[in-house]
Amino acid sequence: MPIRNKLKSEPCAIVRKLVESGYEAYIVGGAVRDLLLGCEPKVYDIATSATPEEIRAVFGRRNSRIIGRRFRLTHVFFKKDIYEVSTFRRCPNAEERRGREDDQDGMIWRDNEFGTLEEDAARRDFTVNAMYYDLTGDRGVIDFSSGQKDLKRKVVRAVGDPVQRFTEDPVRMLRAVKLCGQFGFHLSREVKKALTTMRERITLASSSRLFEELLKILCSSKAEPILSQLQAYGLLEYIWPVMSQSWDESEGVLARQLLSIRDREVAAGNLSNSRGLALATPSLPFLMSALNPQDMTAFWKRDANTDATATKAIRLIFDRYALPKFFATRIRNICYLVPRLLARPVSPRALNHIEYRHARALVAMLVEIFSWSDDILAALPEISVAVPPLPVQSGDVTGDSEAAVVPARTYKRRRRRPRPPRKPSVASPES
Ligand code: ATP
Ligand code: MG
């Protein structure tokens, strides 16, 4: 089937509107790659000659917002979904690289120099990610750098010199290996060589970007194979040290088994790509071992120390990152429910918990891994868990749009108490 017939209508409408307004616009990157591979893209990226301000003028201020500092782009809201629309860029020259004052590392800290389509293609990371689809014209797939050939040969080749491209942005190393886990690609000789010598530089990337990538990996339906590739290429020890160090320990092995099952179920549409579940799944074994080191599969009995130990354990699992409290709470709530769903009789409060469906999913995974009796699941009513996959947009790591699809109860945002008025620190002249 030609690509045109496989495209979702909403991103096409965005492209058309930009073109009708006098700009160039194309579907780009992962979406074109996925379509050529015959997969349905989860997220569509759009590239255009319009600047962020011009994009906002086209779609209106209420339907769009500009995000990002390192990489400014525009989110366009369209029928409940968010689309990333980025302006064509070029590689900034040395003068334009507004690096840190003490930065000698050749990294690009701001990537906001606008350019032409050709220049935009040249600053994309890999040939398989640097293709554009011309929806409104007759150019079809626009491919400046052998992307289609590399896609057929399943090879991850850098656009340009990989040493320079990884120096500019070390996150590209992670992205290269991710493609291997995601699609069974292999790295080109040059990319492999550069990665082997440069992998430590991944630590120079900001932790928020790394956490964003890790979260995207965990939410995907290929989390386990991607983590395996990251471990094999020696990147996981920098990105997720606890997981890397426990890889062959009981916690790591169980975490990988759980992730494999979650991947399978997400791919089959039986589980949503919930961020809460994606984070809780590999966390559960670490929590089990922290709360009952003698016999992790016997779970734990809550006592006065449980909360403090669990909080510390969750912090340690993601020790490289300042895990947002919202996620820490969700991980804890989902994991805490697991032994409650295994107890008999199951308390009605546990069955009505907002995280019930995610905790039940974890119980189902444990039943499969340990060949526990099916009676366990029979006592736990199945509720519809299949919700449409949510696009995980970059730059949005703290919120959880998914809370909005929980039908009955949702997390409430705590209201801040108003602060008492400040006393003047210096006596006023009138006093
Ligand atoms: P996914 O399936 O994970 O969304 P993707 O390739 O679409 O994969 P995005 O993060 O959505 O990844 O990025 C969209 C596109 O932007 C990429 O395909 C690539 O062309 C470009 N891109 C993203 N990150 C970088 C980077 N660090 N350096 C250069 N180009 C990048
Ligand atoms: Mg994408």
Please state the domain count of the chain.
Answer: 3
* Whether the CB of 169 sits within 6 Å of ligand 1: yes
| pLDDT computed for residue 231 by the predictor | 98
Last residue of a domain, one of 111, 134, 153: 153
Two structure tokens written together for 384: 């519809």
Two structure tokens written together for 3: 């690509």
**Same domain for 112 and 36:** yes
* Whether the CB of 224 sits within 6 Å of ligand 1: no
pTM of this structure: 0.86
**Same domain for 149 and 34:** yes
Nearest atom of ligand 1 to the alpha carbon of 43? 4
Domain-located, residue 64 = yes
C-alpha–C-alpha distance, residues 165 and 126, integer Å:
10
**Same domain for 143 and 4:** yes
Contact 133, 27 (CB under 8 A): yes
List, in sequence order, every residue forming a beta bridge with 140; answer none if it has no partner. Answer: 134
| pLDDT computed for residue 415 by the predictor | 61
* Whether the CB of 394 sits within 6 Å of ligand 1: yes
Nearest atom of ligand 1 to the alpha carbon of 29? 18
Of 73, 108, 129, 204, the one to substitute when testing ligand 1's pocket (max ligand atoms within 8 A of C-beta) is 129
**Same domain for 163 and 116:** no
Of 175, 219, 222, the one to substitute when testing ligand 1's pocket (max ligand atoms within 8 A of C-beta) is 175
The domain that contains 141 carries what CATH number? 3.30.460.10
| pLDDT computed for residue 132 by the predictor | 98
Spans of the chain below 70 pLDDT: 1, 94-106, 108-110, 384-431
**Same domain for 18 and 120:** yes
> pLDDT, tens digit, for every residue of 7-50?
999 999 999 999 999 999 999 999 999 999 999 898 899 999 99
List, in sequence order, every residue forming a beta bridge with 155; answer none if it has no partner. Answer: 186
In sequence order, the 6+-apart residues with CB closer than 8 A to the CB of 387 are 272, 402, 405
Domain-located, residue 422 = no
| pLDDT computed for residue 136 by the predictor | 94
Q: Which domain holds residue 338?
A: 253-385
**Same domain for 144 and 24:** yes
**Same domain for 183 and 126:** no
Which is nearest to 321 in space by CA: 209, 236, 416, 407?
Answer: 209
Domain-located, residue 137 = yes
Question: If residue 330 lies in a helix (H) or strand (E), which one and from where to where?
Answer: helix 325-342
Question: If residue 187 lies in a helix (H) or strand (E), which one and from where to where?
Answer: strand 186-187
Last residue of a domain, one of 102, 137, 153: 153
**Same domain for 144 and 2:** yes
Of 28, 32, 44, 45, the one to substitute when testing ligand 1's pocket (max ligand atoms within 8 A of C-beta) is 45
Which is nearest to 230 in space by CA: 179, 285, 164?
Answer: 179
| pLDDT computed for residue 109 by the predictor | 66
Give the closest residue (by CA) to ligand 1 atom 2: 30
Last residue of a domain, one of 101, 135, 153: 153
> pLDDT, tens digit, for every residue of 339-348?
999 999 999 9
Domain-located, residue 74 = yes
